[in-house]
Amino acid sequence: MQIQNISKNPKLSLSAGAGAPLAIPYERLFVGPSLRPNGKMPLTAHAEVGRLLKEVCADVIHRKSMYRSADYIRSTLDEWVMREYPDAKELPREDLDNLYYNTPVNPKQPMSQSMIDEHVDRLRKVITILATHYLDRPPVSQLVRKIYDLIKSLELWSRRHIRRVRST
Residue range 50-88, pLDDT digits in tens: 999 999 999 998 899 999 999 999 999 999 999 999 999
What gap in Å lies between CA 74 and CA 52, rounded to an integer?
A: 10
- If one compares 14 and 88, the residue with the highest pLDDT of the two is 88
Model-wide pTM > 0.75: yes
* All domains in the chain, ordered by first residue: 41-167 (1.20.1260.40)
